[in-house]
Amino acid sequence: MGRSEWNNFVKKVYEQNKSKPGYSLGDAMKEASELKKSGKMRMSSTVSKRSRRSKKGGKSRRRRRSH
């Protein structure tokens, strides 16, 4: 499973504030929660497109035609 929009948002908040002394991931989660509640959660610029994954095995089975 890929990263969700929430995980990306928390990571963005953490990256912006990690230079503060004593700032932790928990602090970023609390701050991100408050921003989400106030409607300031904007991810349009940081959301990455998910890549397609093929099915396990990768080969499809085909029936052979008998003439």
pLDDT value of residue 3? 67
43's CB contacts (< 8 A; 6+ apart) are 5, 8, 9, 12
Percentage of residues in the chain with pLDDT exceeding 90? 43
> Over 90: is that where the pLDDT of 53 sits?
no
**Looking at the whole model, is its pTM more than 0.85?**
no
pLDDT-derived band at 1 (thresholds 50, 70, 90) equals: very low
pLDDT per residue over 16-43, tens digit each? 999 999 999 999 999 999 998 988 776 5
Tokens standing for 59?
Answer: 């080969």
Taking a C-beta distance cutoff of 8 angstroms, is the pair 33, 6 a contact?
Answer: no
